[in-house]
């Protein structure tokens, strides 16, 4: 059995130890020994004071701690190595011959600001630095691999991607829904693809894990590199996902509008629903960015509607005291008010959350009508506007780094991994370490404490 196949299987059975600092396998599988000299040249620079600085390569021994806490380091035994990630970056020796390698890029799932920026960064890095001339875009997500859909590949060159970063969405288009893993790997083999770059979220991570297993089962030499995409910022072991910064910036515009509407009428209420199916990072961060929000509802924090400490009573107190209020709710908040069996599923089989925004609109109106208090409620849902926007400058820079480091990893023969930023460094994270898990806001974190201090909201939960 090939060594790299054993590496993939080892990751599959690695145990995660419980505790404050979970231990998991951070090894990155490699297709084989890297023997090809990198076409990236060593470059010498000189500082203003005449010091010589040489642009160096990164080795697999360059590591970044998973936990940078002193408490974690103190609990280690003397013989124990601290848990660390492999640092991303160009390697001096690479696995693939750039003149012969064929690469493919595919985008999956929902839209997100910055997808085109990642595509552009990958293409430019492959073409200009590694001199790769066979780069293809797979149209409409995983459907593009399946013959029955009839989607043609798109040849990607610097000319094709020259200005795509100025547009939202993805030039490759996307799709949802599971496809046959065997057929996907058949297509990779048939098209002679050696490096597959996947841009997608949790569903894509699950599919990538299965694709890697099938590739390993067939002993094929195909590298799979994931660039994690989720506007909700809820993928674990990724400090910030691309598009999140743009989403927060656009969300603040919606909050500003809601605040203006609330001030513009007696007992005005501005209600904004934002992205966040399982995690409330967009809602919490956008609320802090503007600090004009009075109530923030997120999936991680339970709340009641009725009762002395429920949202409705607290909202009434706020209106009678100040005459207006602004509420921000993440789409996944308050799902206990919906019956799971009545909720629809998306094409991938995931349960769609109940529409908490419209639910709150109805309940708030009913509550104040029963009290004969005339309110002026304005509801804003900017989700699809935010998803389709081009990335702002901060995300654009970030996407460039992610794309470049994905190329370095793929050309070096790394596989079954995703590119992440962790403690200020770009690192390689095994897919198995992140798949099937969700990053959430800790209610004891500085982020959530800051939200509570900014809004002044109580727990909204009856004892």
Q: What is the pLDDT of residues 193-207, one digit of tens each?
A: 999 999 999 999 999
The half-sphere exposure of 325 on its side-chain side, counting CA atoms within 13 A, is 26
Known catalytic membership, residue 232: yes
Cα(451)–Cα(458) distance, integer angstroms: 11
According to DSSP, the residues that pair with 86 across neighbouring strands are 63, 428
User: Is 247-388+444-455 in the same CATH topology as 3-241+390-434?
Assistant: yes
What is residue 19's predicted lDDT score, i.e. its pLDDT?
Answer: 61
Among 232, 245, 304, 395, the one annotated catalytic? 232
Three-state SS at 75: helix
Q: What is the pLDDT of residues 4-62, one digit of tens each?
A: 555 555 554 444 444 688 999 999 999 999 999 999 987 888 999 989 888 789 999 99
Domain 3-241+390-434 has CATH 3.40.50.720: no
**Mean pLDDT of all residues in 433-451:** 95
Average pLDDT over residues 436-443: 94
Identify the pLDDT of residue 342: 78
- The pLDDT of residue 7: 58
Which of 3.40.630.30, 3.40.640.10, 3.40.50.460, 2.70.98.40 is the CATH number of 247-388+444-455? 3.40.50.460
Tens-place pLDDT, residues 366-411: 999 999 999 999 999 999 999 999 999 999 999 999 999 999 999 9
| Rounded Cα gap, residues 280 and 273, in angstroms | 11
Could you report the per-residue pLDDT of 146-189, keeping only the tens digit for each? 999 999 999 999 999 999 999 999 999 998 888 999 999 999 99
Percent of the chain with pLDDT over 90: 86
The per-residue b/e assignment along 29-52, b for 16 or more CB within 10 angstroms, e otherwise, is bbbeebebebebeeeeeeeeeeee
Kindly report whether the global pTM for this prediction surpasses the value 0.75. Answer: yes
Instruction: Compute the average pLDDT of residues 264-278.
Output: 96
* Domain boundaries along the sequence of the chain: 3-241+390-434, 247-388+444-455
Query: How sure is the predictor about 136, in pLDDT bands with cuts at 50, 70 and 90?
Result: very high
In sequence order, the 6+-apart residues with CB closer than 8 A to the CB of 357 are 271, 273, 329, 331, 379, 381
pLDDT of residue 387: 95
Q: What is the pLDDT of residue 12?
A: 47
């Amino acid at each position: 059995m090939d060594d790299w196949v054993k590496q993939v299987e080892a990751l599959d059975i690695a145990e995660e130890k419980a505790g404050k600092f979970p231990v998991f396998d951070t090894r990155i599988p490699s297709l084989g020994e890297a023997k090809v000299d990198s076409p990236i040249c060593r470059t010498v620079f000189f500082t203003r004071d005449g010091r010589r600085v040489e642009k160096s390569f990164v080795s697999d021994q360059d590591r970044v701690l998973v936990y940078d806490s002193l408490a974690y380091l103190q609990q280690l035994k003397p013989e124990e190595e601290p848990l660390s990630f492999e640092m991303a970056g160009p390697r001096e020796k690479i696995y693939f011959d750039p003149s012969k390698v064929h690469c493919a890029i595919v985008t999956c799932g929902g839209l997100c600001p910055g997808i085109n920026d990642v595509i552009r960064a990958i293409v430019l890095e492959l073409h200009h630095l590694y001199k790769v001339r066979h780069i293809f875009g797979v149209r409409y997500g995983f459907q593009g691999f399946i013959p029955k859909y009839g989607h043609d590949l798109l040849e990607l060159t610097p000319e094709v991607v020259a200005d795509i970063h100025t547009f939202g969405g993805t030039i490759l288009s996307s799709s949802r829904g599971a496809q046959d893993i065997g057929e996907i790997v058949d297509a990779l083999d048939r098209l002679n693809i050696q490096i597959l770059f996947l841009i997608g979220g949790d569903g894509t991570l699950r599919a990538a894990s299965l694709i890697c297993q099938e590739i390993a089962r067939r002993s094929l030499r195909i590298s799979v590199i994931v660039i994690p995409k989720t506007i909700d910022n809820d993928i674990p072991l990724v400090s910030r996902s691309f598009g999140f910064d743009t989403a927060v910036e656009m969300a603040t515009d919606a909050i500003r509008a809601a605040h203006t509407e609330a001030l513009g009428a007696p007992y005005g209420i501005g209600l904004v629903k934002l992205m966040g199916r399982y995690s409330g990072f967009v809602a919490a961060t956008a609320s802090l960015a503007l600090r004009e929000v009075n109530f923030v509802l997120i999936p991680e924090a339970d709340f009641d509607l009725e009762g002395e400490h429920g949202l409705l009573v607290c909202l009434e107190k706020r209106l009678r005291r100040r005459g207006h209020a602004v509420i921000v709710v993440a789409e996944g908040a308050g799902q206990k008010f919906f019956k799971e069996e009545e909720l629809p599923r998306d094409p991938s089989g995931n349960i769609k959350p109940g529409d908490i925004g419209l639910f709150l609109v109805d309940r708030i109106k009913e509550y104040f009508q029963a009290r004969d208090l005339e309110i002026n409620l304005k509801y804003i849902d900017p989700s699809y506007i935010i998803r389709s926007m081009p990335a702002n400058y901060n995300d654009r820079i970030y996407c460039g780094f992610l794309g470049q480091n994905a190329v370095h990893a793929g050309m070096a023969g790394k596989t079954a991994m995703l590119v992440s930023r962790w403690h200020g460094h770009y690192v390689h994270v095994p897919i198995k370490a992140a798949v099937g898990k969700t990053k959430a806001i800790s209610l004891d974190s500085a982020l959530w404490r800051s939200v509570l201090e900014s809004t002044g909201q109580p727990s909204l939960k009856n004892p």
